[in-house]
Amino acid sequence: MIIMIFIVFVPVVFFLLLPLLLFIITIVIIIIITIAIIISTTSSSQLASSSSSSSSSS
């Protein structure tokens, strides 16, 4: 009886959690991409500022 409930319950929980899991994964990917873009933009701006300052000093 308990085994039957378990067999029925597991696929239902899996199908309910699958969209939630995909949603969480997509959010995490979006956050990682945005962080990477922010880091790249900040690093490029720092490089640009450092190169301009070095050229002006020389």
pLDDT of res. 54: 59
Tokens standing for 47?
A: 């490089």
Taking 60 as the threshold, does the pLDDT of residue 57 lie above it? no
CA 34 to chain centre: 8
Q: What is the structure's pLDDT at 26?
A: 97
Instruction: Kindly report the pTM of this predicted structure.
Output: 0.53
**What is the structure's pLDDT at 55?**
58
Cα-based distances in Å from 50 to 3, 41, 42, 47, 58:
67, 14, 12, 5, 12
C-alpha distances (whole Å) from 51 to each of 32, 43, 57 are 28, 12, 10
In whole angstroms, how large is the CA radius of gyration of the chain? 25
- Chain segment 2-54, per-residue pLDDT in tens: 888 888 888 888 888 999 999 999 999 999 999 999 988 888 777 666 666 65
